[in-house]
Amino acid sequence: MIFDDFDPKENKIFRIIDNEGIIINSELMPAIDDDTTLKAYKAMLFARTADDMAVSYQRQGRMYTYPPNSGQEAISVAAGLIMRDEDWLVPAFREMGAWLAKGVSLKEVFLYYMGNEEGSNFKKANHALPFSVPIGTQLLHAAGIGYAINYLKKDEVVFAFIGDGGTSEGDFAEALNFAAVWKAPVIFTVQNNQYAISVPVRNQTKSINIAIKSYAYGIPGIKVDGNDFFAMFAAYKQAHEYCKAGNGPVLIEALTYRKGAHTTSDDPTKYRSKEEEQEWEKADPLLKMKYFIDKKGIWKENEKQLLEKYKDEVEQQFSEAENFLPYKLDDVFDNMYVDKPDDLKKQKADYEKFLKWKETTK
């Protein structure tokens, strides 16, 4: 198992390709055909395009606060390729590629960030939980889903995500412990993007890495280059097999870098240097992958045209979200309860009376 070869105690990191796209660990290169490689790159490119456009829509005032994913695409896309329809996605809020792979539409993502709960009502995505804003809380849900999978004797695996900052929350410790005790089939991924808003990971934990925390729970852990699609793919493939075989959870630390701001409300120049950003630019997951693809000579498309096509598609989805049904008073009340208390009906009726008064006094 790859996990055994990269002991977090020795602070080893699992990589397949370097920043120039050269294979540095051919033994562990996963069996992956050219079509899948291209599919992965395109998925990353699409996610990047959608993300960049989301930031600009927000800047234009057409969407509210948005947390950019840029720089973290390899992790989500690799997970997305391994995740089956029956597997579960328990996201934090920076897993665009995984949502799309699950069948969440961009329209839904945009709707959510336009401030409409309908954006969390995924029409096509099966076993995909909505965005989780309170940090780390979602990991416990993953452990619980894992218990249910075992109890119901289902062949399913949970892909759960959290950031480096979230590992400080008590829920992180509880979730890993519960999942381990229950042998729940959960792949916990920590997207270590170096910052929890402004706080660098070195001030978040004194562990030599995050993967080493797996030791405390008696589960396998590995630190992977999260900007290396092939390494992430190989790690997920093994983790998936390990979980399916009933061995319990694993912890994957995906080392990456949040290229953008924490959210569109944040200004990273306050807490990190241009030099640092430029250094990480060299390890951009799309860049690395493209170098690899170019060296292999398998790229046959016009990238400019492809990008235009992607932009059109994103624009189309955004437009659908923008033209979504207007938000109604009913939307505030309708899903508060399965069995709606009478008093809520009265509160709605009272408000309608006020609206009527407002109309007549205009």
Partner 1 sequence: MSVMTLVQAINNALDIKLAEDKNVIVFGEDVGLEGGVFRVTEGLQKKYGVERVFDSPLAESGIVGTGLGMAIAGLRPVVELQFDGFTYPAFDQIISHVSRMHNRTKGKYKVPMVIRFPYGGGINALEHHSESPEALYAHIPGIKVVIPSTPHDAKGLMISAIESDDPIIFMEPKRIYRAIKQEVADEKFSIPIGKAKVLIEGTDVTVVAYGAMIRECQKALVMTKEAGISVELIDLRTIYPIDKETLTTSIKKTGRIVIVAEAPSSFSVGAEIMAIANEEAFLHLEAPPKRVMGFDTIVPLAKGEHFFMQTPEKIFYEIERTVKF
Q: Which is nearer to partner 1, 39 or 348 (CB)?
A: 348
Determine if 115 is a binding residue for partner 1 (CB under 8 A): yes
Smallest separation, CB 164 to partner 1 (Å):
9
Q: And the tokens for 80?
A: 């997305």
Determine if 65 is a binding residue for partner 1 (CB under 8 A): yes
Q: How many CB atoms are located within 10 Å of the residue 238 CB?
A: 21
CA distance 259 to 277: 7
Site string for partner 1, 124-163 (x = CB under 8 A): ---------xxx-x--------------------------
Q: Which is nearer to partner 1, 21 or 165 (CB)?
A: 165
Q: Which stretch binds partner 1 (CB under 8 A): 4-12, 22-30, 207-215, 352-360?
A: 352-360
- Residue 64 is among the residues annotated as catalytic for this protein: no
Determine if 64 is a binding residue for partner 1 (CB under 8 A): yes
Q: Strand pairing of 195-196 and 199-200?
A: antiparallel
Q: Which stretch binds partner 1 (CB under 8 A): 11-19, 79-87, 148-156, 339-347?
A: 339-347
Q: Which residues lie closer than 8 Å to 307 by C-beta, 6 or more apart?
A: 45, 49
Counting every residue, how long is the chain? Answer: 362
Catalytic residue, chosen from 258, 272, 291, 337, is: 258
Q: Which among 64, 51, 58, 54 has a CA at the least distance from the CA of 116?
A: 64
Q: Which residues lie closer than 8 Å to 132 by C-beta, 6 or more apart?
A: 90, 91, 92, 93, 138
Smallest separation, CB 201 to partner 1 (Å):
10
Using the rule CB under 8 A, which residue among 203, 273, 316, 319 binds partner 1? 203
CA distance 252 to 3: 9
Q: And the tokens for 53?
A: 């456009």
Using the rule CB under 8 A, which residue among 266, 283, 314, 318 binds partner 1? 266
Using the rule CB under 8 A, which residue among 41, 46, 99, 112 binds partner 1? 112
Q: Which is nearer to partner 1, 165 or 260 (CB)?
A: 165
Exposed, middle or buried, 268 (CB in 10 Å: 0-12/13-18/19+)?
Answer: middle
Per DSSP, 230 falls in state H
Determine if 165 is a binding residue for partner 1 (CB under 8 A): yes
Beta bridge partners of 251: 188, 221
Sequence-ordered strand ranges (E) for the chain: 88-90, 158-163, 186-192, 195-196, 199-200, 221-225, 250-255
Torsion of CA 255, 260, 265, 266, to 10 degrees: 70
Q: Which is nearer to partner 1, 10 or 331 (CB)?
A: 331
Tell me how many residues contact partner 1 (CB under 8 A): 43
Residue listed under structure tokens 């665009």: 96
- Residue 94 is among the residues annotated as catalytic for this protein: no
Smallest separation, CB 107 to partner 1 (Å):
14
Determine if 354 is a binding residue for partner 1 (CB under 8 A): yes
CB distance 180 to 145 below 8 Å: no
CA distance 20 to 361: 69
Site string for partner 1, 171-190 (x = CB under 8 A): x-------------------
- Residue 262 is among the residues annotated as catalytic for this protein: yes
Residues that bind partner 1 (CB under 8 A): 64-65, 112, 114-117, 133-135, 137, 165-166, 168-171, 196-199, 203-205, 265-266, 270-271, 327, 329, 331-333, 336, 341, 343-344, 347-348, 351, 354, 357-358
Active-site amino acid positions? 258, 262, 271
